[in-house]
């Protein structure tokens, strides 16, 4: 979920709608798939979510992923139902790596999983310090946007995706849920700008569908705390206007993806009321 959204394209109304409702902060560590780049971390601190929060050394600009859409939907759909004079505070812990596979790069036996766990625990401790909270800080949800590299990779990556995802999420729960039990897991359905006249993209679409089926099956196996954020046909039909020429989500696409993820999270919470 690194995201290639251009922060300067975020509208002021979208920013105001979030910042007026809640104090949203984000800590991040991204782009570790290649040589570590300058300014691709928040250096162990939570930064106020704004246009100049996440720096992209590759793009030489401030960028964003789906976090703005998530924040927008949560502040409008959940926090407005709670009357309080003080703006509530939301913390995002973002650990992301672009163009990577669950089968290899996110494999729990590899070094990247341990780095993910270490960074998350470090930032949870930081939340406790900021909130002056002695008890362990609980996690509200894990949002997951990954799988394209598995779809376009080796056949074994697609075949093993369901097993790999179930194993991954259960290990994350074991490591991070503590005594609070499991927390919601919300993955995003894979989608891409598809040229149906191209044989190669038709082949990729078939592979992508296979991974999507695996994600859906994994959610069923993981239980009621896991649910897939699906892409409607209407949303998919307008995807050409929500992505860059190379198929990656643009600023508006990432914003809508975040809303879809947050809607599913809110639905999971509603189901436990």
pLDDT in tens, 156-177: 999 999 999 999 999 999 999 8
pLDDT, tens digit (0-9, with 9 covering 90-100), for 195-208: 667 777 788 889 99
Distance CA 249, CA 63 (A): 12
Within 13 Å and on the Cβ side, how many CA atoms surround 6? Answer: 8
> In this structure, what are the phi and psi dihedrals at residue 218, rounded to the nearest 5 degrees?
-65, -40
Domain ranges within the chain, ordered by starting residue: 5-271
The two most distant CA atoms of the chain are separated, in Å, by: 59
Task: Give the residue with greater pLDDT, 164 vs 137.
Answer: 164
Question: Does residue 103 surpass a pLDDT of 50?
Answer: yes
Domain 5-271 falls in which CATH fold? Rossmann fold (3.40.50)
- pTM score above 0.85: yes
Which residues is 47 bridged to in the sheet? 26
Which residues lie below 8 Å from residue 82, measured CB to CB, with a gap of 6+? 88
Both tokens of residue 78?
Answer: 């959940």
Question: Does residue 79 surpass a pLDDT of 70?
Answer: no
Which residues is 175 bridged to in the sheet? none
Contact (CB, 8 A) for 217 and 166: no
The average pLDDT across 236-265 equals 89
HEC per residue, 108-130 = CCCHHHHHHHHHHHHHHHHHHHH
Q: How distant, in Å, are the alpha carbons of 9, 101, 125, 133 from that of 115?
A: 32, 16, 15, 24
């Amino acid at each position: 979920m690194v995201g290639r959204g251009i922060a300067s394209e975020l509208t002021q109304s979208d920013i105001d709608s979030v910042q007026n409702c809640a104090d949203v902060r984000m800590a991040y560590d991204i782009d570790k798939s290649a040589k570590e780049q300058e300014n691709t971390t928040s250096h162990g601190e939570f930064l106020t979510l704004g246009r100049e929060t996440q720096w992209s050394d590759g793009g030489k600009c401030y960028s964003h992923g789906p976090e703005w859409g998530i924040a927008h939907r949560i502040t409008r759909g959940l926090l407005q139902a709670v009357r309080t004079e003080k703006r509530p505070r939301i913390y995002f812990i973002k650990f992301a790596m672009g163009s990577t596979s669950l089968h290899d790069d996110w494999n729990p036996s590899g070094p990247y999983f341990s780095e993910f766990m270490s960074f998350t625990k470090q930032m949870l401790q930081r939340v406790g310090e900021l909130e002056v909270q002695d008890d362990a800080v609980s996690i509200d949800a894990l949002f997951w946007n990954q799988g394209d590299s598995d779809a376009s990779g080796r056949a074994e990556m697609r075949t093993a995706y369901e097993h790999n995802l179930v194993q991954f999420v259960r290990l994350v729960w074991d490591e991070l849920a503590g005594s609070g039990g499991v927390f919601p897991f919300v993955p995003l359905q894979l989608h891409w700008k598809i040229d149906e006249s191209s044989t190669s993209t038709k082949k990729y679409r078939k592979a992508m569908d296979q991974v999507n089926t695996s994600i859906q099956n994994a959610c069923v196996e993981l239980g009621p705390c896991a649910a897939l954020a699906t892409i409607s046909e209407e949303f998919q039909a307008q995807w050409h206007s929500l992505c860059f020429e190379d198929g990656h989500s643009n600023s508006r696409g990432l914003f809508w993806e975040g809303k879809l993820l947050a809607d599913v999270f809110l639905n999971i919470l509603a189901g436990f009321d």
